[in-house]
């Protein structure tokens, strides 16, 4: 199994920045794709950013130009740098990882709260 742990959430003023980190352990060699999701109250969980083992990156439109996903494969970590934060970015953020040959198709961290005040 793969285990994921997020860190870096907190309270920040609008316009500020936070950096979220995700540490993976366990069957990490099976991982090909890592991502960040978020879920705000009353809304469905949405994909924020994803990066594959080939270096392909995609962002949801609302964070383009403000957020950046990165990955350190040797350290089994991936991060989400969040700049120019807006109140609408407030959500629980979850790291995600998966691969075709992992025991499960994908894995989730426990979530970390990001709150952006106005």
Stretch 57-70: mean pLDDT: 98
Percent of residues, the chain, with pLDDT higher than 90: 92
- Residues 33, 51 contacting (CB under 8 angstroms): yes
Tell me the average pLDDT of the chain: 96
Name which of 14, 56, 21 is nearest 36 in CA terms.
Answer: 21
Residue pLDDT, tens place only, 3-48:
999 999 999 999 999 999 999 999 999 999 999 999 999 999 999 9
Look at residue 105 in the predicted model and tell me its pLDDT.
87
- Read off φ and ψ for residue 7, nearest 5 degrees: -155, 160
How long, in residues, is the chain? 118
C-alpha distances out from residue 5 to 96, 97, 111, Å: 10, 11, 8
Angle at 79 between CA 12 and CA 53, to 5 degrees: 155
d(CA 21, CA 83): 14
d(CA 30, CA 108): 15
Stretch 65-82: mean pLDDT: 96
Name which of 30, 35, 57, 54 is nearest 46 in CA terms.
Answer: 35
Look at residue 35 in the predicted model and tell me its pLDDT.
97
Which pLDDT band holds residue 82 (cuts at 50, 70, 90)? very high
Which pLDDT band holds residue 50 (cuts at 50, 70, 90)? very high
Percent of residues, the chain, with pLDDT higher than 70: 100
């Amino acid at each position: 199994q793969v285990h994921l742990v997020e860190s870096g959430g907190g309270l920040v003023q609008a316009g500020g920045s936070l950096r979220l980190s995700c540490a993976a352990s366990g069957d990490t060699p099976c991982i090909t794709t890592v991502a960040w999701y978020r879920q705000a109250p009353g809304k469905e969980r949405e994909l924020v950013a994803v990066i594959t083992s080939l270096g392909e990156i995609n962002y949801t439109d609302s964070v383009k130009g403000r957020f950046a996903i990165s990955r350190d494969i040797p350290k089994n970590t991936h991060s989400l740098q969040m700049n120019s934060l807006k109140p609408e970015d407030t959500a629980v953020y979850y790291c995600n990882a998966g691969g075709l040959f992992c025991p499960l198709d994908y894995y989730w961290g426990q979530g970390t709260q990001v709150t952006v005040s106005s």
